[in-house]
Every structure is written in C-alpha cells, then in structure tokens.
Chain A
Amino acid sequence: MHTTDRLSLNVNFIARFSAFLFFILIVGVSSLRAQEISEDAEVIAQGEQLFKANCTACHRINERLIGPALRDVHTRREIDWILNFVKNPQKMINSGDEIANALFEEYQVVMTAFPFSDDQILSVVSYIKAESDKPIEVAVATTTAGDGTVVEHGMPQTYINVIMVGLIVVLVILLIVLFLIINVLARFLKEKELDEDEREVVEQRLNLKALVRSNAFLGFAAFFFTAVVLKTVIDGLFTVGVQTGYAPTQPIAFSHQIHAGQYQIDCNYCHTGVRKSKSANIPSVNICMNCHSAIKNIPWTTNPSPEIAKIYQAVETNTPIEWVRVHNLPDLAYFNHSQHVEVGGIECQTCHGPVEEMDVISQYANLTMGWCINCHRETNLNTRGNAYYDKLVQLHSEVSKEPMKVEDNGGLECARCHY
C-alpha cells in the first residue's frame, strides 16, 4: 500500500511535472509563433475551407499523394519557409533552397503557386495543426461520419402512418365486434319461433354469385379498375422524359468515387462555375492536367492507365473531350447553380446524390418541375448573414412564425425559371 501510494504520488508528480514542462514548451513555441498559428475555431474553419478547396487535389494530412502528407508540417518547417513556398515554389527551387530542392527530387512535381495572403496560408497551417493534434484513427472516423449527412424530413408522414395504423386497428376491432354481435343475435333468434318470412331473413346465406352479378358490385369493380388503369397511365406519362438513373457511357471512364470519394477532392476544384455561374461547368482538360501531369497510373499499381492516356491524347491532338450530358433540363427552364450553391447554400449531393460513391455518374433526382417545386416549398430560405434578405425576413416574421421558405419569396412563380 505504502509503495503504491508513493508510486502514485511519483506518477502524479511526474505527470504534473511533464505537464508543466509541456506547458512551458507550448508557451515557448506559441510565444514564438503566437501571432501566426491560431487555435481560433474560426481561423481553423477558414483554413479547412481553403485546404479542402485548393490543397486536397494533391495533399492529405496523413497520406502521401501527389505531394507529401502534411501532418505536423508546422513543426517540420519554418513558418516563413511555408509562406514563401506556397506563394512561389518555383522561386524557392530556383533560389537553391535545400528543402525545396529535396522535395522536388522526391516528388518530381513543382507545386502550383497559390496567390494567397499570409493570413490565408496561416489559417491553412492552423487547420493542419488542429488536424495533426488529433489522433489518426479519430480523424478517419470523423471524416466518414461527416460524410453521412442525414436529411431529416417527413415528420408529418410518420404521424399519418401512426394515425392510419390506429384507424385500421379500430376498424378491425369494430368488424370483429359486429361479427360477434351478429352471431349472438342469430343464435338468439334461432331459439325463437319465427314465421316463414322472418326465418328467411334470419337464415339468409351469403350468395357470392348473386353478389358478383349485382349492379353495385360490377359498378364498383369497373370504377376501381378504371381508376387503377388511369392512375397507372398518368403515373406512366409522368415518367416520360424522366431520366433518373441515366448513366451513359462516357468517353473517359472517369470515376467520381475515386476523385470525390476516395481522394476527397472538393467539387469546386473541378466544377469551377458552380459558385459564380449558371452552369457548374464540366472541367476543361487543363484542370485534369493539374494533377494528371503527375498521376499517370492506375491507382495503387504501376501500370499506365489507358483512361488517363485519353487526357494526354486530347491535349496532344488539341481536341476537347466530348462528354455525354447526364443532367438535361429542357431549354424552357432556366436553372442557375450559383443561386442554389452560393446563395442558397445547398449541398451538391442534395440534387446530384451521393456522387462521391458513384463510379459511373448517373442522374439522381428526377429533375421534373414537380421535384423543383416541392423543394422550393419545403426548403428554408438561406437568409442568414445576407443583407439582401434582412427586410424580407423581418416582414415575414411579422406575419408568420414558420421560417421563411423559398416559396415565401416567390419561389414558385413562373418567371423565376421560365423566360
């Protein structure tokens, strides 16, 4: 007991002492770089955004890709070195910087120069530091968890289901009770003396043939049949031109699963128009070449990929790649990506589905007008921090307690999409 106490005291002491040392170290390091690497959540968030939009094409925190894994890069390199290198890697190499040249030797690619401000680069480093401080397993776990965005809706639907089930149960009980009452009454009547007419009524048997032949039954059957046929036809007609699941063969077997899923390249990196234009834009070949000037192989092997070779062929022959359009809206409908993504804050997956899981891209939503309208009815307007909506939100809150929907801002009007 005594020894253990001592031991625990020792351990305690050691722990405290090392904590103290660690604190000194931290304070020392942070006093050195306090103005540079921030632990502010906002800065880290900004860094995360920048990192995901610009760096993930070549870098991972824990994994070597086109460029080195960036875990603990802030401890490996001087901050000034990072700043200079990000801004102009070629200049660093030319200046004869040892580390830069060693990296070039190792990776055989010069990193793209990013014209970021010091603050922006530091925010990225802050993000890397924050990520590095997390244990590796946890980091992986959070990413997978982060991907599975569950959209919760249909609460009224569950209510309706409960009510329906309840009603059916009540009806069944009612039927059983009625049947029992009839039986009891019939038995009671049988024991009585009855005249001919009354007996006929009491001993009435269900005549199936007569029932089937009865006008009422035929009429009902005919109505039911017509209704079902009509409903099927109308439903069928509504699917004309609806191309859900359309997954044509593309000229290059490009896999979103590998690029967006496995390598987690941000959608914006390739689809450059999505935040500023009506079209998200299919990436031009020069965007592919940003990475594929270095990546030539089938993943995890050393065999040159015939699919990647098609990109080189396009460059060499100066012919653009003719992709097959998957999402086709009719000419009479105007759709603007930037309105939905930049202003509305809608995730790409909301309309395009789990693209990061699609090996071959396919149409996810049915892209019918009903689908558009439905979403405009259900979706809350993304008004936060947007001065355009301030007065509207105020006016809306005066008349309604519900959050403002797209519909409430004229989102169902013809001339929003048809002109």
Chain B
Amino acid sequence: MEKGKKTYWKGLEQLTNDPAFVQIERNEFPEKLPLKDEEFGASRRDFLKMMGFSVAAASLAACETPIRKAIPYLNKPIEIDPGVPGYYASSYINGSDYCSIVVKTREGRPIKIEGNKLSAVSGGGTSAQVEASILSLYDKERLQNPTKNGSPITWNDLDKEVMALLSSISAAGGQIRIVSNSIYSPSTLAAIEAFKAKYPGTEVVTYDPVSNYGITKANETSFGVAVVPSYDFSKVKTVVSFDADFLGTWINPILFSKEFTKTRKLGSGKKDMSRLYSFESNMSLTGANADYRIAVKPSQQGALIVSLYNVIASKAVVPTIGGSSSTNDAISKAASDLWNSRGNSLVVSGSNDPGIQTIVNGINSLLANYGSTIDLGKSVNFRSGNDEQMEKFITDLSSGSIGAVIYYNCNPVYDYPKGTAIAANISKTSLSVSTSDRSDETTSVVAYQAPDSHFLESWNDAEPIAGQLSLSQPTISNLFNNRQAQESFLMWSGNEFTYYDFLKANWEATHFANQSVETELQTFWDKTLYDGVFVPAVSVEEKSYEFTADLNATAQNIKGSGSGLELVIYQSIAIGSGNQANNPWLQEMPDPVTKACWENYLTVSQAHAVELGIVMSEGNTQKVDLTINGTTISVPVVVQPGQAQGTIGLALGYGRKKAGVVADDLGLDANPFVEVKSGIRNYNITSGVSIAATGEPYRVAHTQTHHTHMDRHSVIQESTLAEYKENPAAGRHFPKISTSTGKKQPYEVSLWEGHTYTNHHWAMTIDMNSCTGCGTCTIACQAENNVPVVGKEEVLNRREMSWIRIDRYYSSDAEHGDLKALEKASENPEVTFQPMMCQHCNNAPCEAVCPVAATNHSTEGLNQMAYNRCIGTRYCANNCPYKVRRFNWFKYHDNRDFPENLSMNNDLGKMVLNPDVTVRARGVMEKCTMCVQRIQYGKLEAKKEKRRVKDGEVVTACAKACPTNAITFGDLLDSESKVSKSLRIEREDNHMRWKEERAYHVLEEIGVKPNVWYFTKIRNKEA
C-alpha cells in the first residue's frame, strides 16, 4: 500500500504501536467463543432440565398457534390512519436548550424527531440531545403522579394544600420564589404574571445549568443592554475562538454549526472558505475543526485577548490598553486576518469572566462586527439566566427569609455549584414545590412534586431569540397523571382554564392582533401550528449600540498566566449539563473527541500522563486523586492529545444520584467544583488544583480504536485551501494496480461483471469539510433503525452496535515514520472526522463470503442484509474492509441483563421503536441499510402519485439529521439530484464516471466500488 504524506492515528496506542493493541487490532472479534465459561458451561443436570423444558414447550406450542388480537379504534380519529406516519411541527424546550422540530408519529405515538427547516433559530438542524429526547419521553423514571413527600396525592388535594400555603405565606407578606432555567415562552411568562398578581411576594429567579452570564454582564457594561446577542456565523471570513465551543456546546451550536459550515463549503465555483483560530485548553469540537488550534491554559486567555486587542487597536490606530498581555505568532496572524475581514469576522470567548468578555466586545467593536455578525437587538432568550439573582436567592434561602419556593423544571440541587446549600436549606421554607417531570436531586428534597408534562405532551410557545416565535403542540396525550406546569401556575393563581386556552387567547391578543395577513384567528392559528414558527412582521426595531466600556480599567483586572495545574470544566457533546443523563442513547454515544462513553474522566496531556506514569491502551488506564481546593476525588484518566500543558479537563453532567437506573452513579459530579466569583460562575479553576497518581487500574469504555486499521492512507485524503485553489484534486490519492498489461486504475481491474442499475442507484456523499463530528447522525440512526444500547461492559468488549460511527483521526505534518516528530505532534495534532457506515459496495466483499446468501446486492445499489436468513457465521464482518458490520452477540431486547437498553426492555420504552424496522434477534449480523424503509416509503408514495421520486424526498436519517448538510443522499440515476450534481456524474455507454475532483472512495485500491463518496478535507491554513 502506498504511503501517504501524513500519518493518521486514532489512538495513542496506535501511535505508539502498543503490542497488545497490535495483536487485538488484527482481529475483528477480539475474543473467542465461548464468551464466558460460567455462562455457557451447562452441567448434565442443566442439560436435562433444558431438554425437559424444550420438549414440554415444543409439545405445548404444537397444540395451538397463539391467538393474536387486532384491536381497532372505537372512534378512529380522522387524522390518524394506522400505518401512515403523521408529522407535527413543535419545539424542543428542555432547560435552556431550544430547537424547532418536526415530530414523526405513528399510530399516535411520536417515534422520531427531525429539524424544522422553517426555523431561523435552529436552521432545520438538530443535535444528538434533541434527537435522543424522544426516548426520554418513554422513560419509566418519569414521575407518574403528583406526590407529597414521596407518596402519591391527587391533583385536587395538591392544589388545595399548595394554594392554602401560598395564600397564608403571601398574606403574611412572605417571599415566594419561582426558580427556573431561562424562561423564554411568552405565554408561560404571562401565566407566571398571573401567579405573581395573586401572590405579590413572588419573584422569578432564573439561572442556566451552564452559565453565559459573563456575556450578559459584559454587554451591560459595554452597550447598556444585558443580553446574550445573536451571532451570525454565516457571514464570517475569520473566527477567533477563545475556548468557546460554538460547534459543540456554546449558546446555540445547532445554528452555529449550520452557518459556520456554510462558509466552509467548496465547489461549484466557490473557492473561498473561512478561517478558524481556536485558542483552547481541552480539545473541543471547535478546536478539532479549527484551521489553527493553539493549546493555551485558561489563565493565559485574558492576556492573549488583551494582546489581540492591542494588535488590532494599533492597526485601527486607536489607543492600546494596558494590563498583562502575552503575544505570540498566532495572535498576530489572527489579528491580521481579523483586520482584513473586519465586518465579516467574529471573536468569541467561552470565558464567563465579564472583564474578558468586555475586551472581546471591544475587539468586535473595533472590527465593526456589531450590526454585521453580532446582533444585540436579537437577544438569545434561552441563555438569559442571571447568576447574581441565583446567588441572592441562595443567600435568602439560607437566611430563612423565603417562605415558598417553586422549582419550575430545573434541578439546581444538582446543576448549581451550591446545590448542597440549596438542599440543606430547603427545610427553612414553609412550602417547596418542584414541577420537574422526572425525579431528580431537587424533586427528592422538596415537599410537593407537581410533575409537568414532557415537552412532546405539551402545548407551549417560545421566543428563543427576540422576534422569532414558535409553538409547541402535543404529539401524544399525557402518558402519566401529569399536568403542565403552566396550568399549575394558572390553577394556583385561581384561573381554572387549560393552558391551551390561555395560550391561544394570549396569541389572539398579541400576535394575531398585530398581524394583517390572516383575518380569521383559526386560520392564523392553524397555519402557525403547521409551520411551527412565526416571525412577526414588526420584528425587533433596529437600534445602534455604542461601545462605552472603559477597557483600560477592565484590562487592569486581567491577571497574567498562572503557574499551577488548571482545571477546565466543560460540557460533553452527548450529555451536556446532564438533564438528559438517564438517556442511554446519549450515554453510549462516544464523545466526538475522546471517543469514550458511559462516564466522565479527567483528560490529561500525553506529557502529563508520562509524569504520572500512566500509559493508556485499549481503555486500560488508572484512577488518580484529583484535589481541588481541599476536596479530593478519585477519577479515571484519559490521555488526550492536544490537551494544553498544565491543564486537565472534566465534564459536567455526570455523577447523578437521583436520575434513574441508567444515569445514577455514572462518573463524577463536577458541579461542586465550579467556582462562583463575584456572583458569576467560573468554569476555569486556575488555582488549588493538583493530582496524584494512585496506580489503581481502571477501564474506560472507548470506541476509539475499535473497528479501525492504521496505515491506510487512502482513508483520509486532505489538503490545504491554497493547494486546492491550484488543483482541485489536491490531496487526492490515486492508487494504481500492477497488472500484466501495466499499471491500471483499480476500477479497471475486476473479477466481477458489475451491476447495471435501471430504476434507482442510491448513493451518498459525505463532505469532510462540512462534517464537524458532532455525532447527531449516530443518534438519528439509532432512533430510526432500532439500534440497541449494549452498556459499558459490552463496549469494553468492542461490541457496540451503532450502524454509523464517526471516526476521528489525528494527524500531523511530520514525515511518515518519524516517530519522534509524531510524539511531539500528539501535543497538538490536527483532527479529521469521518462518518463511517456500510459503504454499499458494488463489489461487496461481504456478499461473496456469506454461505447462505443472507447479504446480497439489490437492483438499486444497496447491499441488503436479510436478518431472518443470517445464520451468524460472521464471515461477512471478517471480510468487510470498513468494519461496519455489527453482530448481535446477545438478545438485547426483553432481556434483564441489559436494563440500560430502555427502548427494548419495557412496554413503555418499546413505544419509541420504529414499527417499520425489525428488532434484530441474537446471533444475526446487522448494518446500515441506507434506511431502506425510507427508500421503500418514498418510492411507494411516488408510485401512488404516478410519478418518479423527487430528489430530497428520500433522505436517510443521518442525512436528515446532519445540522451541517455534510451528508447528501440521493439517486445517481436522477441527473438532477444533489448527489449527481455534487459528484458531477457523467455517463458513457453504461459507464458512470464522477468528475468532481474532491470526491473519492475510501480504500479505492481494493476495488470494492462503494456507493459512498467522501470529499477531501480542505484546511484553510498556510503551508
């Protein structure tokens, strides 16, 4: 195999050529059968027992076939036809996360969430958490009844008692607090106003599980508006991010990913792309996608930002500022790029320090980004939490001056740093209520639980960004004896009408009254409900904002770099702040960068690990004692290439105690370590951090090196923008095969005759320039195709079932084989993400080896897998060069050994299963089908309407979910389809050629002719 220019590696064990790994990586299945002795070593007695049972069972079964009932509706609702899916626009409102969605229902139960293209707030994209939230609906751990001190109570009694207490507290002039995450539903706010009117001592306290209050505060000092502004990444030419993971977790990552990747797309005449600089400590998704990534300690951030300001200020000929500053080449390079693209640039910082954010505002102001890429008028309402209010609340609570507290769908006992103080002082109130729809750390300490409905069962509205409205509608009636929290507020304020009526009346009075397009309320309402979103004609008034902060004074407070170990607390992509921690799909989703799942861990740099004496291989690692300001915890270590020297990282969202069977006691809770500095949460702990090796061995479930082979340089093909501009085929690898008649292209040599397609030829393209590695596609696939969750143990055994995985490759410019240079590169490697699923090869190696023809080729280009035919020899998986076939080692459904596989192990969880896709049995192979059920559905709809399938009608779940449109699916025989056009397909006597220079097949040299094309990764960096 030809050696490429670069060396790619997936894990450090691969880079260091660890012998254990080398041995294990050669085998698709690392263990031999039998799996476990004690499990399979049946004794003679067991044999007789089994024998006796099977004879009895067989004879019983022979008597009569089981009677299956068919129960039709009593009164069939006109909009439901069994077997026909329905789609409803709605909104994902979960804590301070928002996404406009379309919910697919079957027989009245929601089974899949997809993005709503009409929304300007989420741009039609979703995230892994949004996709997975459908499973949270069917979680048995949700509260099923209103309770008082843990025992069930009727809503009537609860209302009576709560209202009596509220009235007496209010009458005595007592203080009532409603504690919540950001509230951005206008009608909910109106309902709370009604509540306030009845109980005058009421105040609303909002905080977000992860604070952005530093930005709000900085905008208050800079511009006099205390908001988180809208950022427009679609216009950017240069982005400089200081620890702001805007592609992963920062503010509105779904939209930011969509907009940012728009500036990164190449082809069809577009030969320019934006440039991203990332100065960060942990390897985040943003850093992994950056053209220039500079590993810095959190304490260096302020000084770097000051010096960036100064460099730009000198270009803009304005006075520079004092304070400590440290400059480097990257800063001056970033500064000149920023200056050259002023008005179309962005500087963002993830810091929650208002001082740092003020200087960032200063830089953006110098760059004329306000009014262009930053819009202060369009405030992001779903990140409007106020840390200072929350701090004051905790002080008041501790002093006993609060009479009643209502926790409206929030869990501060867990997700606020001073959660323990809240839990301890809750008894000082005379009334405590929680409206969370699931039991959590907060519901377990309050007196009354008045469970809200799940967002998929609720009516609601939202104004996530000023001037952008959306509606939520129930897609299923309440599964449990729940009531919407807004209805509770209305009830307690003495208004006995449903929230639906209230909501509609509110819209009638506001948005319907203010528009002139529709004359009838019902038409207006139906249309808005159908669209899911509504933009009022008179949106936010244009206003100019003047930057007024005293930067010099601010800069004086910015401290220079510290010398000790620093801890950066971050959100993982899958779990986030942890409010969906009990969702096994998210728990098993590998982190895009570390590729570990099922818990959190301390990320340390390679050099640091060597110091600690930790060599990580195949998930084998050690626990260390982490001490933060006197508190010591024992935590496993994951060695992370690219981790800034002198820093360690720990994810939020884990260490739940009362979340449910899946999440409880997974990992460690990082919230208590979050500092509160002058009333604002700070996630960068720059002093008092130390770690000590304990030598205690531990295994972290990694998918990092599973199903992978090193030294295949034709897998990742990449180049730089400058080279691409000269030659669009830059970075491409053109293998040649030696034959008796000279060297030939691999596709000119074949044993097979190949297939001719006459009807459809389904194919997929994946643009590695657009793929950010966010993993949304993996969860979308899991939901669509009934992919089971296997649990940490089985992941450790390399038996995860995901049909699509995101391969993360590290690379560096070092010469191939120069191990010294490579070792240094692992300090800050380049990263490439590559979604990998069945490539649906036209010369499929798996098809040739199946002894029972269970896997074979269709006339539409699909590599099909017939589960009921498969006998489980696993030859196909052994022969698959892409390692994308998954074997059902166990029966994952209806099996008490897999309690974490919620979607298949209880009646409620099973409601999420896609009824068009088989739940696979033990002992069969499975793999990506290119969502054949969707293909069949699309074709059938076209046939019914007597026309051909239109491009875009049949889309796989992964392509549909991809927030950056990196995945395109379509019919190559349709010359107008997006795939055909992006590949620039040309045909000549039944031979199909693609002319797009960037498009390539992974492992082209083996001649399997896949139906999935990848587009080269182009980095916008100078050579």
Which B936-977 residues have a C-beta within 8 angstroms of A? 936, 939-940, 942-944, 946-949
Q: How far is the CA of A386 from the CA of B862 in the complex (A)?
A: 24
B82–A279 CB distance below 8 A: yes
A248 touches B860 (CB 8 A): no
Q: CB within 8 A of A415: which of B69, B929, B947, B948?
A: B929
- State how many angstroms separate the Cβ of B852 from the closest Cβ of chain A: 11
Interface centre among A277, A330, A332 (most CB of B within 10 A): A332
A215 at the interface (CB under 8 A from B): no
CB pair B936–A386 under 8 Å, yes or no, is no
Across the interface, do A273 and B759 meet the contact criterion of CB distance under 8 Å?
Answer: no
Contacts of B854 in A (CB 8 A): 414
Closest to A385 in B: B946
Interface check B932, CB cutoff 8 A: yes
Q: Is the CB of B82 within 8 A of A410?
A: no
Of B69, B72, B939, B943, which one neighbours A283 at CB under 8 angstroms? Answer: B72
User: Do the beta carbons of B867 and A418 come within 8 Å of each other?
Assistant: yes
Q: Mark A312-329, 1 if CB is under 8 A from B, else 0.
A: 001100111111110010
Q: Which residues of A contact B939 (CB under 8 A)?
A: 388
- Check if A12 is an interface residue, CB within 8 A of chain B: no
Q: A392-B759, A395-B758 are in contact. Are A284 and B72 (CB under 8 A)?
A: yes
A279 to B84, CA, bound (A): 9
A62: shortest Cβ distance to chain B, in Å?
33
A287: CB under 8 A from chain B?
yes
A-contacting 9-mer, from B73-81, B357-365, B731-739, B741-749: B73-81
As a 0/1 sequence over residues 263 to 283 of chain A, the CB contacts with chain B under 8 angstroms (1 = contact) are: 000000000110011110111
Answer whether residue A120 sits at the interface, using C-beta atoms and an 8 A cutoff. no
Q: Is B269 an interface residue (CB 8 A)?
A: no
Contact with B along A396-419 (1 / 0, CB 8 A): 000000000000011001111011
Write the chain B residue with the least CB distance to A286.
B75
CB B756 to nearest CB in A, in angstroms, measures 10
**B946 touching A325 by the CB < 8 A rule?**
no
The complex places the Cα of A256 from the Cα of B376 at a distance, in Å, of: 69
- Chain B contacts for A331, CB-based, 8 A: 918-919
Please tell me if the beta carbons of B759 and A409 are within 8 angstroms of each other in the complex: yes
Decide: B81 and A343 in contact? CB cutoff 8 A.
no
CB pair A343 B72 closer than 8 Å: no
Tell me which residues across on chain A come within 8 A of B932, comparing CB atoms. Answer: 415, 419
Question: Chain A residues near B948 (CB, 8 Å)?
Answer: 387-388
Bound state CA distance, A276 and B945, in angstroms? 11
Residues of B within 8 A of A338 (CB): 940, 944
Contact indicator per residue, chain A 174-216, by CB within 8 Å of chain B (1) or not (0): 0000000000000000000000000000000000000000000
Q: Is B74's CB under 8 angstroms from A320's CB?
A: yes
Query: B891-916: contact bitstring with A at CB < 8 Å (1 yes, 0 no)?
Result: 00000000000000000000000001
A339 at the A/B interface (Cβ < 8 Å)?
yes
A336 at the B interface (CB under 8 A):
yes
B72 and A282 within 8 A (CB) = yes
Distance in angstroms between the alpha carbons of A51 and B68 in the assembled complex:
35
| A114 close to B (CB within 8 Å) | no
Binary flags per residue of B283-312, CB closer than 8 Å to A gives 1, else 0: 000000000000000000000000000000
Q: How near does chain A come to B847, taking the closest CB pair, in angstroms?
A: 11
A residues less than 8 Å from B947 (CB atoms): 387-388
Query: A residues within 8 A CB of B865?
Result: 414-415
Q: Chain B, 507-530, contact with A by CB distance < 8 Å: what is the 0/1 string?
A: 000000000000000000000000
A243 within 8 A of B: yes
Contact pattern, B 844-881, Cβ under 8 Å of A = 1, otherwise 0: 00000000001010111010111111000000000000
Interface of A is mostly: loop
A273-B81 CB under 8 A given contacts A286-B76, A388-B943: yes
CA distance A318 to B75 in the complex (A): 9
* A217 contacts B by Cβ under 8 Å: no
- A281 to B71, alpha carbons, bound, how many Å? 10
Assess the A415–B74 pair: CB atoms within 8 A.
no
Which residues of chain A are within 8 angstroms of B919 by Cβ–Cβ distance? 331
If A409-B759, A410-B759 touch, whether A324 touches B68 (CB-CB below 8 Å) is: yes
Q: How far is the CB of A282 from chain B (nearest CB, A)?
A: 4
Set A287, A319, A330, A413: member contacting B858, Cβ < 8 A: A413
Known contacts A415-B929, A416-B936, A419-B932, A388 near B942 by CB under 8 Å: yes
Would A276 and B940 count as touching, CB distance under 8 A? Answer: no
A388, B759: Cα distance in complex, Å: 9
Shortest CB distance B410–A (Å): 39
Complex partner residue of A287 from B68, B76, B859, CB under 8 angstroms: B76
B858 and A277 contacting across the interface, CB-CB below 8 Å: no
Contacts of A272 in B (CB 8 A): 76, 81
Q: Does B933 contact A (CB under 8 A)?
A: yes
Q: Contacts A410-B858, A419-B933; is A322 near B946 (CB within 8 Å)? A: no
- Decide yes or no: A415 and B864 within 8 Å by CB, A241-B65, A320-B73 being known contacts: yes
Q: Which of B75, B860, B869, B917 has its CB near the most chain A CB atoms (within 10 A)?
A: B75
Complex-state Cα separation, A323 to B69, whole angstroms: 6
B606-651 at interface with A (beta carbon < 8 Å): none
Answer whether residue B70 sits at the interface, using C-beta atoms and an 8 A cutoff.
Answer: yes
Known interface pairs A334-B916, A418-B868. Does A322 touch B69 (Cβ–Cβ under 8 Å)? yes
B859 and A413 contact, CB distance less than 8 A: yes
Residues B74 and A282 in contact, CB atoms below 8 Å apart:
no
Residues of A within 8 A of B862 (CB): 415
- In the bound complex, how far is the Cα of B61 from the Cα of A241, in angstroms? 11
Is A247 located at the chain interface by the 8 A CB criterion?
A: no
For A411, the closest partner residue in chain B by CB is: B859
Most chain A C-beta atoms within 10 Å of own C-beta, residue among B68, B867, B949: B68
Contact flags B66-99 to A (C-beta < 8 A → 1, else 0): 0111111111100001111000000000000000
Complex interface: chain B residues within 8 A of A339 (CB):
940, 943
Whether the Cβ atoms of B758 and A392 lie closer than 8 Å is: yes
**CB distance A414 to B856 under 8 Å?**
yes
Please encode chain B, from 49 to 67, with 1 for each CB lying within 8 Å of some chain A CB and 0 for all others: 0000000000000000101
Q: Is the CB of A273 within 8 A of B918?
A: no
From the candidates A276, A324, A342, A414, name the one contacting B81 in the complex (CB within 8 A). A276
Q: Does A285 contact B (CB under 8 A)?
A: yes
Nearest residue (CB) in A for B70 is A325
Q: State the Cβ distance, B245 to closest chain A Cβ, in Å.
A: 37
Let me know if A277 and B82 touch, CB within 8 A.
yes
User: Across the interface, which residues of B come within 8 angstroms of A281, CB to CB?
Assistant: 72, 81-83
- The CA of A410 and the CA of B862, in the complex, are separated in Å by 12
For B866, the chain A residues whose CB sits under 8 A away are 414-415, 418
Write the chain B residue with the least CB distance to A243.
B65
Check if A343 sits within 8 Å of B75, measured CB to CB. no
Q: Are B68 and A332 in contact (CB under 8 A)?
A: no
Q: Which residues of A contact B83 (CB under 8 A)?
A: 273, 277-279, 281
Complex interface bits, A379-391 against B, C-beta within 8 A gives 1, otherwise 0: 0000001111101
Residues in B whose Cβ lies below 8 Å from that of A284: 72-76
- Which of chain B's residues have a CB closer than 8 A to the CB of A409? 759, 859
Contact check, B929 vs A285: say whether CB atoms are below 8 A apart: no
A287–B74 Cα distance when bound, in Å, is: 9
Chain A nearest CB, measured from B940 CB (Å) = 5
In the assembled complex, 25 residue pairs joining A and B whose CB atoms fall closer than 8 Å, in A order, are: A241-B65, A273-B83, A276-B944, A279-B82, A279-B83, A281-B81, A282-B70, A285-B73, A285-B74, A285-B75, A286-B74, A320-B74, A323-B70, A324-B67, A324-B70, A334-B916, A339-B940, A385-B946, A388-B939, A395-B758, A410-B759, A413-B864, A414-B866, A415-B929, A418-B869
Other A-B contacts than A325-B69, A392-B758, A418-B918, 17 sampled, CB-CB below 8 A, are A278-B83, A283-B72, A286-B75, A286-B76, A321-B72, A323-B69, A332-B918, A339-B943, A387-B947, A388-B942, A392-B759, A410-B858, A413-B856, A413-B859, A414-B854, A415-B929, A419-B929
Chain A positions near chain B (C-beta within 8 angstroms): 241, 243, 246, 248, 272-273, 276-279, 281-287, 314-315, 318-325, 328, 330-332, 334, 336, 338-339, 342-343, 385-389, 391-392, 395, 409-410, 413-416, 418-419
Give 10 nearest A-B pairs by CB, closest first.
A277-B83, A415-B864, A284-B76, A414-B866, A284-B73, A410-B859, A278-B83, A325-B70, A325-B68, A279-B83
